[in-house]
Chains A and B, each alone.
Chain A
Amino acid sequence: MARATAGSVGLVETDRVVLFDEDDPLVFESGATLAPVVVAYETYGCLNDERSNAVYICHALTGDAHAAGYHEGSERPGWWDNLIGPGKPIDTDRYFVICSNLLGGCQGTTGPSSIDPATGRPYGLRFPLFTMSDLVKVHRALTRHLGIERVLAIVGGSLGGMQGLQWALDAPGEVASVIAICASSRLTAQNIAFSAVAREGIMRDPDFHEGDYAQHGVAPTRGLAVARMMAHITYLSEESMRTKFGRRFQDSAEPRFGFDVDFQVESYLQYQGESFLKRFDANSYLYLTRVMDYFDPFGDMEAVAPRLEGLDTRFLVLSFDSDWRFDTSHSREIVRVLAAHQVPVTFREIRSPHGHDSFLLEVPEYHRTIAGFMDRQADDVEHDRGG
């Protein structure tokens, strides 16, 4: 039974739209083309007459378009429901909020598990490799489809924050502000190593079949579950795991001395791995982690400097002190490059014991900072309109 409690956007549905078709295919940065491209998205709140109050939510690696409110028949709210809603930091009484499933995903937007019209079979690894700019290109097409020329704010954590940064670089005129939370402008060797092991797990699964597992009626579930279990460790802090599980046993007070799940933390990881299989596609995992590995917008400074000079997009960059997936040095690198090119940037490292996952949680100082920044952006737009 769906509910509409105070602070909730209430009952919502995921919409779908074809943004690119045979006559107007999506052209990737690599030159490859793709059609059709269907995008799943949700919106909350109302677009104002000036179309100046749009906030675009970019989700992280395994997110989806259902950021807030409830789907019919579900008790579980959207993944960022604590941030988005009436009276919340992303206030749907004030902003028109858009969230879409990203390109290459598996939650309604075209990705490697979609049917290739040329063959009638899922794309699998024949899906073109794509970049952060390609993801952003699809977001931009959706905003145009919705009649929006400039978004008030792009908000995202982790991979979501990276999309915001790329969007501002690709189309500065379309972006008034970016809120990038525990994001990175360049993965470290350690970050890439974690992704590499996750991909190895998937690709070495006997059910992988070179990505064509769907045609064999199977899926590389063992590999994907292990990939998720390992990634999940990197989303939590050592402290939060210690607090949550310690060395407690799952089913008894005494150790059972065997190789079955015995510790609580093992049971938790196993549950995370298993439940992930219901909602995620292994090929999407390969493609999207690869986008992050190759993301390096400041790598060629000579090429990016002209795009940074005169960029009037306002940035709010946030990190969490217990995040070791993308620790504060990642955020500070973004701050350093932006400030060196006279881009206005606000930055804070927020205390939270919850690691990388903090961005999804209701950490009061974190939400307060976003609310303050958002209020100011909206006030300035309204002021400009009045003046």
Chain B
Amino acid sequence: MNVETPVFTTPDEQVAWLGTDPIPAKAYYDPEWFELERQAIFMRSWIEVGHACELPEPGTWIRRELEFADASILIVRGKDDRIRAFYNACTHRGTQLVEEESGKGANFLCPYHFWNFGDDGRLVAAPDFKRFAPLTKEECSIPKVAVDTCAGLIFVNLDPEPKHTLREYLGEYADRLETLPVAKATTFHEYVYEIDANWKITYDNFQENYHLRHVHGLTGVATVHQQNQYGYPDKYTFNGPHRTQQIWVNPEPLIKPMQGYNLGLVANDCAQQGIMGSPDSRTYFALFPSLFIIGTPMQHFSHKVYPISATKSRGVFRIYWVDDDDSATRRYAREYALCSLRDIHTEDVNIINRAQKGLLSGAIKKIHFMTMEGLCRHLYQQVVARVEDYLEEREAAGETA
């Protein structure tokens, strides 16, 4: 008996409101435009930098480098269990306090003149401090950075007075994120890359499926079907500057024998953990400005794109897991999941490089997004809106752009 597969309908109508205008190519390589993005967006948005499982107990800390701000940030779980963030810089003469990526300890000792700071950034002790009079220790706390968590993910905001709380910023997606496995994650795989490409070119690659069948012809063959030859999503949603796509389920995926066996082990494990089948298990969240997280428990990855310059960025992929490896089968299944995802993402990095190179001459004045690249268009429009707001604010304040 032939079982009819459901008819797939491309959700063009859901992105029609975004329009069809060409996009100025300069926004994807121009240093002056990048500087506006940096000031208008990255220096005052909530930026994801890690996960609470990296701070498992009081006294643990992590260091994060944010190139777009030339900033090194320490994120600390204090003795009171609160997570705080402050700059990795001594208030004496600015020396970086730590070089390690993570650690544990109640204090941060500057190696230069042994100023000693507590886990809340306050100056606790400094040799021969009386000779700094009238300076007081209270005046020497390290500048704080706004920090908060959602679904276990740690976000910082470099604006000294953020306009929105993290919850306000994420809007209705915040509660949905809290239902994802990442909220309960205890460990993760991580792989990183640096790329000679603008952050939007890099990010856009991961929010359209038009390229899947061309770039991932071997690794992503399970995503295409005669009903949906490009593996397009079946739904889009928008929430302020953020957006989602709902991953289409291929009714007849082409799966290789060991691929099926291995992914079956992951699925069984997730099912036993009770993390399969959540309402957002097919949702791919694109959180402004440059974070992705996918709800799929079996390949539950996040991807952050950090800008470095107009034509350089850094990406961090993580595959989050609930509970540590406790058996050979779980360890094997998870290692395969890593290999499987990383192989696909590797193919993306190569094509992104080429996408940037082609724009650098300036010969291409405009680029074009079709309807199923609507999320890329939405990102560009959100970027422009924030840059315009920023310029208006500066003008109102009497500053020149």
- A joins B in a complex: no
List B residues at the A interface (Cβ < 8 Å). none
